[in-house]
Amino acid sequence: MTPLPEKPVLPPTYLEAVRRIETLTSEIRRDGLSAFERTEAAYAEVQELRAVLNARLLALRHRAG
């Protein structure tokens, strides 16, 4: 039995990224330090979200420039 090919892990879309970071923000505001600790654990995820959103901002700024 041949193993199934691994699906490539795609970066989140703009909409997924902006929704996720808004959720994280509301969780931090609501749960305080415990949520903050969870967010600390999800540092890599936040970096990825930040990259997606910054790419959108960069594209818009390039277009405006």
Partner 1 sequence: MRHHQIRGWRAAPSCQAVTRASGVQGTVTPPHPPPAPDPVRAIELRDLLGWLRQRLTGEHTVRACVLLAEPVGNGDVLLLGEADHASGSNDPPRLKARLDAAGLDALRAERGDGFDPATLVNRTVVLVLRTGLRRRFGRGAGVQAKVIALLSIGESPVEAVLDRETTLRRLRAERLPFGPGTWVEPEDPQRIAIVVSEFGDARRDIEHQLQDLEAAGLLRIDRVWAQFEGPSAERSLTDALVRVAALHAEHGLAATILARGGGPVGGFAPLNAHAVAQAATAEKVPGLIVGLGHACTSRTALDEVAARCEPTPTAAAALVRDLVQRTGIRASGALVAYEAAVQDEIEAAGRIALARAVKAFDEALHSLIAEAEQQLRSLDREMEQSLLAIAACAAEPRGPAAASTVLNVDPSPGSMGDAFSAEAPTLVIAADTGRVIAAANEARASDRILLQFRDGMVSARIEPRPHNQH
Q: Rule CB under 8 A: which residues touch partner 1? A: 13-15, 17-18, 21-22, 24-25, 28-29, 32-33, 35-36, 39, 46, 50, 53-54, 56-57, 59-63
Residue 47's nearest CA partner among 14, 13, 21, 10 is 21
Instruction: Report, in Å, the least distance between residue 44 CB and partner 1.
Output: 15
Instruction: Report, in Å, the least distance between residue 7 CB and partner 1.
Output: 22
CB under 8 Å to 61, separation ≥6 — which residues? none
Instruction: Report, in Å, the least distance between residue 9 CB and partner 1.
Output: 21
- Side-chain-side CA neighbours of residue 24 (13 Å): 19
